[in-house]
Structure 1
Amino acid sequence: PNNVKRVIRAIEYFEQTGEPISKHNEEQAQKESPYEFLYFVLNHDRSILYERIDQRVDQMIDQGLEQEVKGLLEQGYSPSLVSMQGLGYKEFVPYFKGEYDLEHAIYILKRDTRHFAKRQLTWFKREKDVIWLSKQEYQTEEELLNVILSYAVSKNIISKSDLDAERDRT
């Protein structure tokens, strides 16, 4: 199996309930929310997204990620802990074991973070009732916020008078 944790969770669920987790997941997907909500995904051109990921990783390195991971390992935290499997930690363990150099660890972290971002977008595409907004279509964050607020008014999640009153207040 590709996702051992998911398989273990499915087995645990079956042992506790006697039903396959797929049945539970399907039932949950069919439920209507009792809440009024809007579900936005702010998307960016992929090249810009990847450039920003690379910049963020460089910033994490500058702010001491290497030393943080080294310190945790020196304190005895096992690389197999779930908390050590997060992006930024697991990529540095082989580096500290001498399996590759720092430059390669950074390359792996950037690559894995880009893959994670791609998986997130794929996941959002399967969600229902998602409103996709492309960030590059808006000149300012205020313009983007106004579009989001117009959606909220159009769906009666907030009233136009409340929105106007809030704008007058600020």
Structure 2
Amino acid sequence: QRVPFLVGGSALYLRAVVQGLRIPEVPPNPELRQELENLAATEGWQPLFQRLQELDPVTAATIDRRNARRLIRALEIVITTGKSKSELEGSDPPPYRVLQIGLERPREQLYERIDRRVEQMVAQGLVEETANLLARGYAQNLPAMSSLGYREIGAYLRGELTTEAAIERIQIETHRFVRHQSTWFRKMQGIHWFQMDQESTASIYTLVNQFLNH
């Protein structure tokens, strides 16, 4: 019998897999989305977040407020349907057992690894990759192009940031993203947490064997 291992993913992805999270099936509203994207482009994420607080405070309390793409989608749902995203979400518990293991390391060590990784990405061609995508017609306001890294390098290519400032901003925003995801994961029940060290290895093996032999 084959046992699947799922490694990585965001907290939302994990919830969908282990809790059977139902995503609201609300089709895109192109006109509304364009209006909200224009607002984000001219005034930033703050007015989007304020509006979401008014219309759907439950979702606003848990969403990444700096992520304009998620804010726009949440607003799109509540404005289009008249119901909050949290009202439309539900869950269908999956028909299988799940063992969840979380690995963590000291925050400062994690930040150091992130910073080195960002510098490595830039050295290996992130600037050239971003410039090539923009030249091929991929607009900066597309969801993928507004993600971490592309967003800041796009600002550098427009002359809004120096190389050093762009790198630093990617690092800072990635630190913030890690904190946000960590908070989400810590709120989730059923995760067995271990430090990423040699001492934890034996405990993890024991836990996995107990689960498989149960």
TM-score (norm 1): 0.76
Of 32, 56, 61, which aligns to 2:122?
61
Structure having greater relative contact order (Cα 8 Å, sep ≥ 6): 1
- Secondary structure in 1 aligned to 2:212? coil
Query: What stretches of structure 2 of length at least 5 have no aligned partner?
Result: 1-47, 50-70
After superposition, the Cα gap between the structure-2 partners of 1:130 and 1:11, relative to the gap in structure 1 and judged at 3 Å, is: farther
Deviations 1:2-53 (A, max 9, x none): 22322223445x36xxx5432343x42xx54421111111111000000000
Name the CA distance, whole Å, in 2 between partners of 1:9 and 1:88: 27
Name the CA distance, whole Å, in 2 between partners of 1:36 and 1:152: 12
Corresponding letter in the other structure for 1:65: L
Residue 34 of structure 1 pairs with residue 92 of structure 2: no
What residue is the counterpart of 2:208 in the other structure? 152
How do 1:110-149 residues align onto structure 2 when only pairs under 5 Å count? 110-135=171-196, 138-139=197-198, 144=201, 146-149=202-205
What residue is the counterpart of 1:5 in the other structure? 73
- Secondary structure in 1 aligned to 2:192? strand
Name the CA distance, whole Å, in 2 between partners of 1:121 and 1:96: 31
How many residue pairs are counted as aligned between the two chains?
146
Name the CA distance, whole Å, in 1 between partners of 2:78 and 2:186: 24
Deviations 1:46-77 (A, max 9, x none): 00000000011011011110110011111121
Name the CA distance, whole Å, in 2 between partners of 1:134 and 1:9: 39
Deviations 1:90-141 (A, max 9, x none): 1111111111211111011111111111111011011111111111xx227x
- Secondary structure in 2 aligned to 1:92? helix
Corresponding letter in the other structure for 1:68: E
Name the CA distance, whole Å, in 2 between partners of 1:56 and 1:152: 31
Corresponding letter in the other structure for 1:8: E
Query: What stretches of structure 1 of length at least 5 have no aligned partner?
Result: 161-170
What RMSD in Å do the two structures reach over aligned CA positions?
Answer: 2.1
